Amino acid sequence: MDSTNVVNKSAPQAKPHFDDIFMDLAVNLAKRSHCIKAQVGAVLTRDTRIISIGYNGPPAGTHNCDEEFPEVGCPRDSKGSCSLALHAEQNAILYAAKNGSEIEGSTIYVTLSPCIACARIIYSMKIARVIYLHSYAEYKGIASDEGVDFLRRFGVTVERYVSGGSTTLLSEPPMSMQTR
């Protein structure tokens, strides 16, 4: 029998949900981070289109923590957080705003739920929906997700990511239990 005439009759593979696609991209973007303490990724979307992407790290053109401070990471501020980095959400939102993208009503996918500072920015930019993979409170060892609580209090839809079933997302929480 000529194998060129054989048709594969197996069932068509299910198409991935956009939530799965965007969260998978956020997980991969986190791997771009030069931070040696934690790696976080974000994808800002409208409907089924990507508006902007981001990952945590210092402003472009300044330095890379893993190169300049390879042993200990960058200097810490008075709260123990990185004194030089922008969070993934901040990078995605700032890039979108810089390029004139319509942010109001959008959705942001992040690998770590927003801290309170990022939550205030998300709310101020009128982002309608936040989907997160890992809990900031669990990561930091604190009682509650203050950023999530803040956003929900003021009407922003916040959901913990659950796979749509068409994909298996492999991700570990951000690296250390220190700060991002």
Q: What is the spatial distance between Cα 105 and Cα 146, in angstroms, rounded to a whole number?
A: 22
Residue 180, pLDDT score = 42
Identity of the amino acid at 140: K
Sign of CA dihedral 44, 50, 55, 58: negative
Question: What's the pTM value of the predicted model, to 2 decimals?
Answer: 0.84
The low-confidence residues of the chain, meaning pLDDT below 70, are: 1-12, 79, 164-180
Residue 165, pLDDT score = 62
**Residues with active-site annotation:** 89
Residue 63, pLDDT score = 79
Residue 110, pLDDT score = 97
